[in-house]
Structure 1
């Protein structure tokens, strides 16, 4: 196959490209330039896709003996990932920019361009597995599964890609036993990035100050901090800077009567208010989501199924009853999202076996059956039902 290898400049993507070469594919490396700002240049481990990373990617391609190009995707990145990040916070939701980057950049802009140029697939350094399973028609279906190394598993942020893009994706590191093993392999191959630190935090927030980034982009918008009964407890400089479950930096002018700490329970962009209260009010066990992307066309819509759900990239999965095809408000709408996989746009409901704390609108809800990813949706609301159990 002709394979386009996404080279971020890190050790994972370099080894993934090397494994694609070993598999006999015709591999071309491409680095995605996501920012034109030299502020993205950094030393160390913060961020990704910086100027420094482009040089590291080129050196990796030279060692592997594959052609190398830099594609300027900064405009697409600004218009999709960063714009979505700002609009979601402005609307009182908590987005995951890595999910949106995978959706709009790595498995949309990159893959679409690659297909237009005659490539058959894109290979990335993500830790996830693709498993081919025989189907009833005598063919095989592709399933997305967790990586062999649970500590590095990235299936959560890949669930949004959809079946068509899954069919054109390669994850050569899915069976890697550990990151240490990948580093050792990189060193054995003579790749200079073998000891390069992992990237972390939000790549377009160069200094790691997310609230400062939001203030610079969205400006000052003073408002009230209130309790669940509407009593004013303090003031804030912008509701967009808060997320459900937050404890610090609430701007309270007086302590709670019982002396207990208070947490953000809700962000109300319509009134520019932050609602705070005791920790027990953070626990929920019913989740409602929309913008469903379903990968498992063999799992029907409209029926409750036993599954596991995960609401954070590195969160612990929780057993739940899940129904695809309901509305985001929880009212039955079986006709929605009943197609054979892909972006359904319908709702998804999950009733958790135990309560979870600090679930915010905008988070990704990913549904699993064992190691297999069934689908993903964006949380619209969360509430307490009669079955709320121990906090988790």
Structure 2
């Protein structure tokens, strides 16, 4: 007899025993996804581990602190062997370059501050990898992301992780309702990373003490400019550092070395007040600097919006929400005013500093944990 009561659903939400539920686990080789795979294997699920080779890891075998390198593939394989489930490595280098790396380079050259991890989730992990999971006849795909999936009146909803310090909702705003119906995030309810490491030790995983990854996988040591120069030779052309009136204060070796809000490393000492990068004029190869108050932004134009709230995005002329314009900042109160199905203007009730084109603007339910979607900041705000 088929199970049809909520209490009879397994931990992944299916009305059948775990042994009859196939789940593909996206394994990066780190402790988070390894714990997810081990946890589900111990519960008796039909686990299949998949690790993506996203770039040429031959030169990165000894690099620590970055995901997706050769050592990480080896670690994922070891976990699968320990827990006794199959593991596959898929070569996604070409897909990753076309969908993520090339846009990262072009956006950076255009003066934006891109977030490639969001594009990777959107265009690779939750698109191509998710389709691969379907091809493997999986019932769902699980990841080690710290975010919660909860069932609401209209279906699956995205909610912030229980541990605010580990919450990854900023990087997952572009997850579509269709993708969300297939995805599972077993770590989102944990109170701390210490709990995850305790589980890794419990399962005897070889990665239990492995450090967290810090860098973007193809950007060693966080040096964006060096990667751009390799991807786009000749991109670092010298130019002038000017104030907002156009007065030349110094010279630089390439706009790609600067980001909005930057203060250090400008090389224009001797001034009485500190100056910040307030604009990048790529065409004129100029870095424009000014006082901190010029960084304050209230009106933020957003496009490529993915809406996860109730009803159609344009149903209401405006909504009171909270937003994040940087992953490291807490949500701030704002007014969301749709311009079209995929564009809007976000009015920040308290101005934010350092709002930059290329960053994401993520929408949250005011006073709650639900993620309502988000979009991309596409030009300087006001």
Q: Is 1:348 matched with 2:344?
A: yes
CA contact (8 A) 1:40 1:204 kept: no
Q: Could you list the runs of 5+ residues in structure 2 that have no partner in the other structure?
A: 1-20
Alignment of 1:188-199 (within 5 A): 188-199=202-213
Distance (Å, rounded) in 1 between the aligned partners of 2:209 and 2:57: 26
Q: 1:262 Cα shift?
A: 0.8
Q: In 1, are the aligned partners of 2:159 and 2:370 still within 8 Å (CA)? A: yes
Deviation beyond 6 Å, 4+ runs, structure 1: none
SS in 2 for 1:167: helix
Conservation of the 8 A alpha-carbon contact between 1:289 and 1:379: yes
Determine whether 1:317 maps to 2:315: no
1:371 to 349, 369, 373: 369
Q: Distance in 1 between matches of 2:270 and 2:231?
A: 32
Deviation of the 1:205 alpha carbon: 1.6
Q: In the alignment, is residue 111 of structure 1 matched against residue 133 of structure 2?
A: no
Residue matched to 2:186: 172
1:181 alignment partner in structure 2: 195
Say if 1:94 and 1:360, in contact at 8 Å, map to a contact too.
yes
The alpha carbon displacement at 1:39 in A equals 2.2
Q: In structure 1, the residue corresponding to 2:222 is in which secondary structure? A: coil
Cα distance change on mapping 1:299 and 1:25 into 2, 3 Å:
farther
Give the alignment partner of residue 143 of structure 1, picking from 157, 161, 166. 157
Corresponding residue of 1:293 = 306
Q: 1:12 to 1:58 in 2, by over 3 A?
A: same
1:55 Cα deviation from its structure 2 partner: 1.1
TM-score normalised by the chain length of structure 2: 0.89
- Aligned with 2:58 (options 19, 38, 42): 38
Q: Take 1:162 and 1:242, find their aligned partners in 2: how far apart are those partners?
A: 33
1:13 paired with 2:27, answer no
CA distance in 2, matches of 1:134, 1:19: 28
Q: Distance in 1 between matches of 2:112 and 2:380?
A: 12
* Matched position secondary structure for 2:379: strand
1:245 to 240, 261, 267: 261
Q: 1:229 aligns with which of 228, 241, 245?
A: 245
8 Å CA contact retained: 1:183, 1:194: yes
Please tell me whether the aligned partners of residues 264 and 277 of structure 1 are also in contact (alpha carbons under 8 angstroms).
yes
Alpha-carbon spacing, 1:284–1:245, altered in 2? closer, same or farther (3 Å): same
RMSD of aligned residue pairs (Cα, Å): 1.6
8 Å Cα contact 2:22-2:47 kept in structure 1:
yes
* Aligned residues of 2:321 and 2:333 also touching (Cα < 8 A): yes
